[in-house]
Amino acid sequence: MRSPYISEVISLTHDLIAIPSVKESPKALGDVLSVAQKTLKGFHVETFSDQGVPSLLAYVGKTRPKKFAVILNAHLDVVPGKKDQYAPKIVGDKLIGRGAYDMKAAAAVEILLFKELAEKLNYPLGLQLVTDEEVGGHHGTLFQVNKGVDAQSVLVGETSSNLTIGIRSKGIVWAQITFHGKVAHGAYPWNGENALWKAHQFLQKIQTKFAVPKTEVWKTTMNLARIETPNNTFNKVPDEATVMLDIRYVPEDKERVKKDLESSIENGDTISYNTIEPSHETPSDNSFVTLLADAVTQITGQKAQIVGKHGGSDLRHFTDAAGLEFGPVGSGPHTDDEWVSISGLQTYADIVKTFLLSKKITL
């Protein structure tokens, strides 16, 4: 059952990490995709580009299936890191480097499993590699979906703790609220209206509706990301202030988020939405969830944990597919200490392979 060989996974992961594939470097995004594509000789590779963002879709045959039974989705872009993070290193069981956990090691597993199994399966399997997940996925996964790429289920190798299976993720609202007051001399504040105090009053009001939980819990949360004002002097009443909020909402709160924000501002103040992204939820009794959970148990001997993910992923762009977030053992995404377990990669590959070989997957 063991495949692909761990040495192949490590080698390909090393090559992917070595490329600083951040959004600020379009060339690097193309280069990292090219490294992946070189491993896919013999398969049809359909390439896409939207606003300079490249992505690809690999499958068997020259005609894209109207619907895949399973798509393996992986992003090859990363958040910016320090220079030495692009020189991957091995310390004990850890493969350390930018993107090791999020999610170039998982991408390597997906690529090599696709290469090994795609022609042997009795259902259409797709491999979707994108380069803009870290900035929203609109020009990669969503662009492909809008071009007709469809699937019954999508497995994305995103970070998941201890081989848990993520079946739901929160939606995202990035809101910018601008408060308007009246300028005055700082010595005579009664002659003005302080926009920063208006922002403060708004935040007190909205905090009661989106209080930060003391521990991890599946509920809507709000992060106060920034407060700013054009005023840069002491002796002036600021007549403008802006608040930036990052709200992660559970599916049932979709409608109330905007309602609560907009009901908390006064006439003359304005609100704009930089991002409104949908949540994603797959029923826990979905057959693909059951098959992946069974594979986890078969390989590890442990019952699979089904969880919700607080962050978003490109799964949200597949509105009708069964979405599975399932990544290898590791830690530290977006940090200086990002790593993935080498032994865990073999376990991860064995689980995904067992899932893909299930005779219960049909189209």
Q: Say how far apart CA 24 and CA 280 lie, in whole Å.
A: 28
Q: 312 pLDDT exceeds 90? A: no
Residue 2 clears pLDDT 60, i.e. is over it: no
Distance between CA atoms of residues 36 and 57, nearest Å:
11
Lowest mean pLDDT among 17-26, 84-93, 134-143, 310-319: 310-319
Q: What is the longest distance spanned by two Cα atoms in the chain?
A: 79
Q: Where are the beta strands (DSSP E) in 193-305?
A: 221-228, 236-237, 240-249, 270-277, 280-281
pLDDT of 1 higher than 70? no
Which structure tokens are listed for 226?
Answer: 């920034």
pTM comes to 0.90
Average pLDDT in the 126-141 region? 96
Among candidate residues 195, 202, 204, 201, the one with its CA nearest the CA of residue 229: 195
Superfamily of domain 6-169+279-356: Zn peptidases (3.40.630.10)
Question: Phi then psi for 313, rounded to 5 degrees?
Answer: -150, 175
Q: What is the mean pLDDT of residues 110-137?
A: 97
Reading phi first (left if > 0) and then psi (alpha if -120 to 50, else beta), residue 89 is in beta
Q: Is the pLDDT of residue 309 over 90?
A: no
Q: Are 324 and 157 in contact (CB under 8 A)?
A: no
Rounded to the nearest angstrom, the gap between the alpha carbon of residue 155 and the centroid of all alpha carbons in its chain is 12
Task: Kindly report, as residue ranges, where domains of CATH 3.40.630.10 are found in the chain.
Answer: 6-169+279-356
For residue 47, pLDDT over 90 is answered with: yes
CA distance 88 to 98: 8
Pinpoint the residues of the chain covered by CATH 3.30.70.360.
Answer: 171-277
Lowest mean pLDDT among 94-98, 103-107, 181-185, 248-252: 248-252
DSSP state of 193: B
Q: Is the distance from CB of 279 to CB of 308 less than 8 angstroms?
A: no
| Average pLDDT rounded to a whole number, residues 86-107 | 97
Backbone angles phi, psi at 321, to 5 degrees: -85, 155
Tokens of 259: 């309602």
For 142-182, write each residue's pLDDT tens digit.
999 999 999 999 999 998 878 999 999 999 999 999 999 99
pLDDT at residue 138 is higher than 60: yes
Q: At what angle do helices 105-117 and 6-17 cross, to 10 degrees?
A: 130
pLDDT of residue 160: 81
What distance lies between CA 248 and its chain's CA centroid?
Answer: 13
The answer to whether residues 182 and 235 touch, using CB atoms and an 8 Å cutoff, is no
Give tens-digit pLDDT for 275-291. 999 999 999 999 999 99
| pLDDT over 80 (residue 64) | yes
Mean pLDDT value across residues 204-229: 94
Between 212-216, 243-247, 309-313, the lowest mean confidence (pLDDT) is in 309-313
235 or 254, greater pLDDT:
235
- Average pLDDT score, the chain: 95
pLDDT, residue 161, reads: 77
CATH for the stretch 171-277: 3.30.70.360
Residues 175, 82: Cα–Cα separation, whole Å: 30
- pLDDT for the residue numbered 4: 59
pLDDT (tens digit per residue) in 313-337: 899 999 899 999 999 999 999 999 9
Instruction: Give the SS3 label for residue 49.
Output: strand
**8 Å CB contact between 4 and 113:** yes
Q: What is the percent of the chain with per-residue pLDDT over 70, rounded to a whole number? A: 99
Would you say 168 and 281 are in contact if contact means Cβ atoms under 8 Å apart?
yes
Q: Give me the pLDDT at residue 3, please.
A: 52
User: Dihedrals φ, ψ of 318, to 5°?
Assistant: -100, 90
Per DSSP, the three-state class of 225 is strand
Closest CA to 244 of 170, 196, 171, 174: 174
78-82 average pLDDT score:
96
